Structure 1
Amino acid sequence: MSPALRARSPNIIDDIVKRPPPSPSDKAPPQKKLDVKSRPASEESTPKAASPITPAKEKSDLKEVEKKENKPSKQDIIDMEVFDQIVELDDGDSFVSGMVTEYLGQVDSTFNKMDKAMETKDLIEMSQLGHFLKGSSAALGVKQVSLTCEKIQNIAKGTPTDKTIEEVTSLLKRVKEEYGAAKIWLLEYCPT
Structure 2
Amino acid sequence: MALTRTQQSEEGSVGDGLPDLGDSIDALTFEQILEMDDDEDEREFSKSIVFGFFDQAEETFVKMDKALEDRDLPELSSLGHFLKGSSATLGLTKVKESCEKIQHYGQQKDEAGTTDEPDEDLCLSRIEEILVVVKEQYAEVEKVLKKFYATPAASGISLDTNVRRRTPLATLKLTHEQWASLTTMLLIALASGLDLRFPV
- Look up the match of 2:69: 119
> Which of 120, 124, 131 is equivalent to 1:165?
124
- Look up the match of 1:32: none
Greater length-normalized contact order (CA 8 Å, ≥ 6 residues apart): 2
Question: Would the aligned equivalents of 1:126 and 1:153 in 2 still touch at CA under 8 Å?
Answer: yes
Partner Cα distance (2:79, 2:23) in 1: 22
- Look up the match of 1:79: 26
Tell me the alpha carbon deviations over residues 22-66 of structure 1, each in whole angstroms, 9 at most, x when there is no partner. xxxxxxxxxxxxxxxxxxxxxxxxxxxxxxxxxxxxxxxxxxxxx
Partner Cα distance (1:87, 1:162) in 2: 42
- Look up the match of 1:149: 99
Question: Would the aligned equivalents of 1:87 and 1:96 in 2 still touch at CA under 8 Å?
Answer: yes
Partner Cα distance (1:138, 1:145) in 2: 8
Question: Would the aligned equivalents of 1:123 and 1:160 in 2 still touch at CA under 8 Å?
Answer: no
Aligned residues: 120
Q: Give RMSD over aligned pairs.
A: 1.4
* Counterpart amino acid of residue 100 in structure 2: E
Shift of 1:162: 1.5
Partner Cα distance (2:71, 2:25) in 1: 31
* Counterpart amino acid of residue 104 in structure 1: F
Partner Cα distance (1:163, 1:141) in 2: 30
Q: Does 1:132 align with 2:90?
A: no
> Where do 1:16-165 residues align within 5 Å?
74-92=21-39, 94-158=44-108, 159=118, 161-165=120-124
Shift of 1:128: 0.3
* Counterpart amino acid of residue 94 in structure 2: Q
Partner Cα distance (2:104, 2:66) in 1: 19
Shift of 1:96: 1.1
Q: 3-state DSSP class of the match of 1:152?
A: helix
Q: Does 1:178 align with 2:137?
A: yes
Shift of 1:161: 1.8
Shift of 1:160: 5.4
Shift of 1:147: 0.6
* Counterpart amino acid of residue 77 in structure 1: S
Higher radius of gyration, 1 or 2: 1
Normalised TM-score (structure 1): 0.60
Question: Would the aligned equivalents of 1:117 and 1:126 in 2 still touch at CA under 8 Å?
Answer: yes
Question: Would the aligned equivalents of 1:110 and 1:129 in 2 still touch at CA under 8 Å?
Answer: yes
